[in-house]
Amino acid sequence: MNSVKSAIREMFPDERNVLAAEAAFQELIV
């Protein structure tokens, strides 16, 4: 997940993108 966040920050500096990715990681339902 850290590499994902790092990649997102690099391409999309707006921190909301990282927050959204973290939320998706947490809210995933199986």
Contact predicate 8/18, CB 8 Å: yes
16 binds another protein (CB under 8 A): yes
Q: What is the closest distance, in whole angstroms, from the C-beta atom of residue 13 to another protein in the complex?
A: 11
Angle ∠(25,12,19) on CA atoms, nearest 5: 30
How big is the site for another protein, counted in residues (CB under 8 A)? 24
27 binds another protein (CB under 8 A): yes
Q: How far apart are CA 18 and CA 23, in angstroms?
A: 9
Binding site for another protein (CB under 8 A): 1-4, 6-8, 10-12, 16-25, 27-30
